[in-house]
């Protein structure tokens, strides 16, 4: 087998090229290849400097995640990097694409770094439940200030090449041909002498004990039970408090210990699950239709967010509202979202102007005649939505895709309200739609392969994670949420209070509990759904009346200053409300329950069991294609902690 690492020597400078598609991960063959190349360079007196570069779309994007579940094979990455760092000649890393994890560690072990202007550099190991395991925590603080190192290692987010230059992570940015500039740099180093190995350098700073205490408090709170960010902080502390060799050994031990944890297994599973959500067999080799111009009907919370998401992805968007005043409000809403992205530095001034120039809001359907795709996000009411679809049928092109963002309604019924149901699909976005990663693609009975292929293409364009769902009340996510919300209400009837349930969910790792979430989203849509279902509900089905009683009092959540909690004076955080407790106690008494205390574990057991039971039904009915799709939906749409892998993973499912 030929090695994925090749070496060529020209005029005293060797170029070591790694070519291991798709992302040049440091598989065993790559590690061996780099080691052999360094040995060859060490043995060849004509070589005076070396460049380490990669073929294809990226620099080394890290260790091969697929090898983590298997016994480690020699040579180990830390030993390879040690060989690079102690090579006889200076080695320059030429970075393009992404230098991530073990890839950035490789660059850190080189004597100098030059990056393409579009490159990204990061240590994302924490997102896989790990800490860097090949010297990243030891070498990084010897190039950049500890505050910057801490952000990169404990947060896992990559930095841009520009930022890397600013903080001292790379020495130069390449503006033309990266490898030629790296070679020129290597030649300069032949003249000026080999820079000191990174690990032999003095750390940029050595923060005092209070720095570590304060950071640990903040990082642990943010991690909500995930271990790796705190472990990463400890590894960084070791790097400036222990001798270098001991810090390297301690880091490796930490990496190996974490690699075998359930959290790391869950995060690895998620990494692949997110990239492999199911696609229907019939869209293989089907070309998606165009996605240049999109229409949005309804510019409320969701419509505005969907419009913004599409504008941010470079599409042209026409939004339609009920009248001129509503169109103006919607326009302001969309402009506000784009402005927020600009203020947070996610959008340059030029890109912001460009996005706004591609947007218009109107009070009629005329402009929708040019759209490739129209997404309706009007009120959750079948009558209103049917009227919208009838109108779209009239004005849109015959090949335009018509989509509904409905949360619960029957998309087949909407499709049947049009002349050609094969072009209708559900596109269920999550709020805020320009941020949330999940997109449920709801397959109607008659949906044509090109319609589905275009829905998947849209997800890709918007950088969302598509999960295919069948038509049913609530599709995958809302249906499972309805099931565990029902279970939570039963727990209230039996003895707990909303704040107990929410605290148990937060302890488990959810950002918010179910009751705080309902207050934030509004209780009215689910109430309407329950009323709709009331007629067909079996008489013997257990049903909690607590939520209905709150809604009957006009308690729709934060927007009415009262829901499951009270929100005095516009407060964002709700307070437990005696009026709610009174209703809960009355319902317990009415149903004849003797209230009993619940532990957080008991609450979570009940919640997980109800999620898992509904998830199994969703699978059995073919609403979801596979267990990991359900996990992706629950993690990315409903705040299920990613480090627990989702409810199916927690129940032992693997695929
Ligand atoms: N190992 C194995 N496979 C990987 C991989 C890795 N590190 N990174 C990506 N892949 C695979 C993906 O599964 C996908 O495979 P497929 O085509 O068969 O589905 C393919 O490479 C392309 O990946 P993406 O679809 O994600 O491509 P993008 O262009 O969107 O993104 C990327 C590229 C930014 C490199 C992204 O893949 C990524 O973030 N990868 C993970 C990087 C990472 O976490 N590295 C750290 C590993 S841990 C480590 O290095 C430990 C060390 O400290 C010892
Ligand atoms: P919203 O009430 O904020 O917005 C609805 C908008 O539609 C209003 O601006 C209204 O003026 C407009 N509208 C109503 N009838 C119209 C018509 N005939 N033509 C043009 N515009 C019309 O509602 P929201 O929250 O944005 O929800 C919209 C849809 O998205 C609903 O189907 C809802 O179930 C779904 N959804 C809501 C989520 C949420 O978190 N709010 C999440 C996912 C889906």
Q: What is the pLDDT of residues 297-310, one digit of tens each?
A: 999 999 999 999 99
Nearest residue by C-alpha to atom 22 in ligand 2:
298
The pLDDT, as a whole number, for residue 145 is 98
Nearest residue by C-alpha to atom 35 in ligand 1:
61
Per-residue pLDDT of 94-123, as tens digits, reads 999 999 999 999 999 999 999 999 999 999
Nearest residue by C-alpha to atom 17 in ligand 2:
322
Give the distance (Å) from ligand 2 centre to CA of residue 378: 4
The pLDDT, as a whole number, for residue 420 is 97
The pLDDT, as a whole number, for residue 378 is 97
233-258 average pLDDT score: 97
Give the distance (Å) from ligand 2 centre to CA of residue 380: 6
Verify whether ligand 1 is closer than 6 Å to residue 80 (CB atom): no
Per-residue pLDDT of 609-630, as tens digits, reads 999 999 999 999 999 999 999 9
Which residues are registered as beta bridge partners of 465? 438
Whether residue 655 is predicted with pLDDT greater than 80 in this model: the reply is no
Q: H or E stretch including 442?
A: strand 438-443
Q: H or E stretch including 116?
A: strand 112-116
The pLDDT, as a whole number, for residue 320 is 98
Closest among 274, 263, 260 to 129, alpha carbons compared: 263
Alpha helices (H) along 143-208: 146-155, 161-167, 178-192
- The pLDDT mean for the chain works out to 96
Per-residue pLDDT of 584-610, as tens digits, reads 999 999 999 999 999 999 999 999 999
Question: Any idea which residue has 């860097």 for tokens?
Answer: 132
> Model confidence at 653, in pLDDT bands (50, 70, 90)?
confident
Nearest atom within ligand 2 for CA of residue 521: 40
Verify whether ligand 1 is closer than 6 Å to residue 65 (CB atom): yes
- What ligand has the least distance to the C-alpha of 132? 1
- What ligand has the least distance to the C-alpha of 408? 2
Per-residue pLDDT of 249-290, as tens digits, reads 999 999 999 999 999 999 999 999 999 999 999 899 999 999
CA distance linking residue 621 with residue 389, whole number of Å: 28
- Ordered domains of the chain (ranges, CATH): 5-260 (3.90.226.10), 281-469 (3.40.50.720), 477-622 (1.10.1040.50)
In the sheet with 98-100, reading across from the earlier edge strand, the strands are 98-100, 120-122, 159-160
Give the distance (Å) from ligand 1 centre to CA of residue 153: 17
CA distance linking residue 651 with residue 649, whole number of Å: 5
Verify whether ligand 2 is closer than 6 Å to residue 405 (CB atom): yes
Verify whether ligand 2 is closer than 6 Å to residue 392 (CB atom): no
Verify whether ligand 1 is closer than 6 Å to residue 582 (CB atom): no
Verify whether ligand 1 is closer than 6 Å to residue 513 (CB atom): no
The pLDDT, as a whole number, for residue 67 is 84
Give the distance (Å) from ligand 2 centre to CA of residue 314: 23
Per-residue pLDDT of 150-204, as tens digits, reads 999 999 999 999 999 999 999 999 999 999 999 999 999 999 999 999 999 999 9
Ligand 2 pocket: which of 297, 303, 386 to mutate (most atoms <8 Å of CB)?
Answer: 303
Nearby residues of 334 by Cβ (< 8 Å), 6 or more positions away: 299, 304, 307, 308, 311, 319, 359, 361
Whether residue 319 is predicted with pLDDT greater than 90 in this model: the reply is yes
Give the distance (Å) from ligand 1 centre to CA of residue 252: 21
The pair of structure tokens assigned to 409 is 């309604």
Q: H or E stretch including 7?
A: strand 5-10
Verify whether ligand 2 is closer than 6 Å to residue 302 (CB atom): yes
Q: What percent of the chain has pLDDT over 90?
A: 94
Nearest residue by C-alpha to atom 38 in ligand 1:
61
What is the model's pTM?
Answer: 0.92
Verify whether ligand 2 is closer than 6 Å to residue 297 (CB atom): yes
Give the distance (Å) from ligand 2 centre to CA of residue 463: 23
Nearest atom within ligand 1 for CA of residue 120: 34
* 3-state SS record for 583-619: HHHHHHHHHCCCCCCCCHHHHHHHHHHHHHHHHHHHH
Positions marked active-site: 63, 102, 105, 125
Verify whether ligand 2 is closer than 6 Å to residue 233 (CB atom): no
Contact 494, 468 (CB under 8 A): no
Ligand 1 pocket: which of 29, 59, 62 to mutate (most atoms <8 Å of CB)?
Answer: 62
Give the distance (Å) from ligand 2 centre to CA of residue 432: 13
Per-residue pLDDT of 506-565, as tens digits, reads 999 999 999 999 999 899 988 988 898 899 999 999 999 999 999 999 999 999 999 999
Verify whether ligand 1 is closer than 6 Å to residue 251 (CB atom): no
The pLDDT, as a whole number, for residue 632 is 98
> Model confidence at 638, in pLDDT bands (50, 70, 90)?
very high
Whether residue 654 is predicted with pLDDT greater than 90 in this model: the reply is no
DSSP class of 140: G
The pLDDT, as a whole number, for residue 554 is 97
317-329 average pLDDT score: 97
The beta strand positions in 232-349, using DSSP E, are: 293-297, 316-320
The pLDDT, as a whole number, for residue 460 is 97
> Model confidence at 69, in pLDDT bands (50, 70, 90)?
confident
Nearest residue by C-alpha to atom 44 in ligand 2:
407
The pLDDT, as a whole number, for residue 70 is 81
CA distance linking residue 444 with residue 441, whole number of Å: 9
CA distance linking residue 498 with residue 500, whole number of Å: 5
Verify whether ligand 1 is closer than 6 Å to residue 270 (CB atom): no
Verify whether ligand 1 is closer than 6 Å to residue 22 (CB atom): yes
């Amino acid at each position: 087998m030929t090695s994925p690492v090749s070496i060529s020597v020209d005029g005293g400078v060797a170029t070591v090229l790694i070519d291991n598609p798709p992302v040049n991960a440091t598989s065993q063959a790559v590690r061996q290849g780099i080691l052999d190349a360094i040995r060859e360079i060490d043995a060849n007196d004509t070589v005076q400097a070396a460049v380490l570069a990669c073929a294809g779309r990226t620099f080394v994007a890290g260790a091969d995640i697929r090898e983590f579940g298997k016994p480690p094979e020699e040579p180990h990455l830390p030993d390879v990097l040690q060989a690079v760092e102690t090579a006889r000649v200076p080695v320059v890393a030429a970075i393009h694409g992404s230098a991530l994890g073990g890839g950035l560690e490789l660059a850190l072990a080189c004597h100098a770094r030059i990056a393409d202007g579009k490159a990204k550099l990061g240590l994302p190991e924490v997102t896989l439940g790990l800490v860097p395991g090949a010297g990243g925590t030891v070498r990084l603080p010897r190039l950049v200030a500890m505050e910057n190192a801490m952000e990169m290692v404990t947060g896992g987010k990559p930095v841009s090449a520009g930022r890397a230059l600013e903080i001292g992570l790379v020495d130069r940015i390449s503006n033309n041909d990266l490898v030629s500039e790296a070679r020129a740099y290597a030649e300069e180093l032949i003249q000026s002498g080999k820079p000191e190995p990174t690990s032999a350098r003095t750390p940029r700073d050595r923060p005092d004990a209070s720095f570590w205490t304060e950071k640990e408090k903040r990082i642990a709170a943010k991690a909500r039970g995930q271990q790796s960010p705190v472990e990463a902080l400890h590894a960084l502390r070791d790097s400036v408090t222990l001798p270098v060799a001991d810090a390297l050994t301690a880091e490796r031990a930490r990496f190996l210990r974490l690699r075998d944890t359930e959290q790391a297994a869950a995060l690895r599973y998620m990494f692949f699950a997110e990239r492999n959500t199911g696609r229907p067999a019939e869209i293989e080799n089907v070309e998606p239709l165009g996605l240049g111009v999109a229409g949005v009907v309804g510019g409320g919370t969701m419509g505005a967010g969907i419009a913004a998401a599409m504008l941010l992805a470079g599409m042209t968007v026409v939004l339609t509202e009920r009248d001129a005043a509503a169109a103006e409000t919607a326009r302001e809403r969309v402009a506000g979202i784009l402005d927020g992205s600009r203020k947070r530095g996610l959008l340059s001034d030029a890109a912001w102007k460009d996005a706004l120039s591609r947007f218009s809001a109107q009070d009629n359907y005329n402009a929708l005649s040019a759209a490739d795709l129209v997404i309706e996000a009007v009120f959750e009411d079948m009558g209103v939505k049917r009227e919208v679809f009838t109108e779209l049928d009239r004005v849109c092109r015959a090949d335009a895709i018509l989509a509904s963002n409905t949360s619960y309604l029957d998309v087949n019924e909407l499709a049947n309200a049009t002349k050609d149901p094969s072009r209708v699909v559900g596109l269920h976005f999550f709020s805020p739609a320009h941020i949330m990663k999940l997109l449920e693609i709801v397959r109607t009975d008659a949906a044509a392969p090109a319609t589905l292929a275009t829905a998947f293409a849209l997800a890709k364009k918007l950088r969302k994670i598509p999960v295919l769902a069948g038509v049913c009340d609530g599709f995958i996510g809302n249906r499972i949420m309805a099931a565990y919300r029902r279970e939570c209400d039963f727990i209230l009837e039996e003895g707990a209070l909303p704040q107990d349930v929410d605290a148990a969910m937060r302890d488990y790792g959810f950002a918010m509990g179910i009751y705080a979430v309902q207050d934030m989203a509004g209780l009215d849509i689910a109430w309407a759904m329950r009323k709709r279902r009331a007629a067909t509900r079996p008489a013997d089905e257990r049903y909690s009346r607590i939520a209905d009683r709150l809604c009957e009092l006009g308690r729709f959540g934060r927007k009415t200053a009262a829901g499951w909690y009270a929100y005095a004076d516009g407060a964002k955080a709700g307070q437990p409300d005696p009026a709610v407790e009174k209703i809960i106690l009355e319902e317990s008494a009415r149903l004849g329950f003797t209230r009993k205390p619940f532990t957080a574990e008991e609450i979570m057991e009940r919640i997980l069991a109800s999620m898992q039971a509904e998830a199994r039904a969703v699978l059995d009915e073919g609403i979801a294609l596979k267990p990991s799709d359900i996990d992706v939906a629950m993690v990315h749409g409903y705040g299920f902690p990613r480090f627990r892998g989702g409810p199916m993973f927690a129940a032992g499912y693997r695929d």
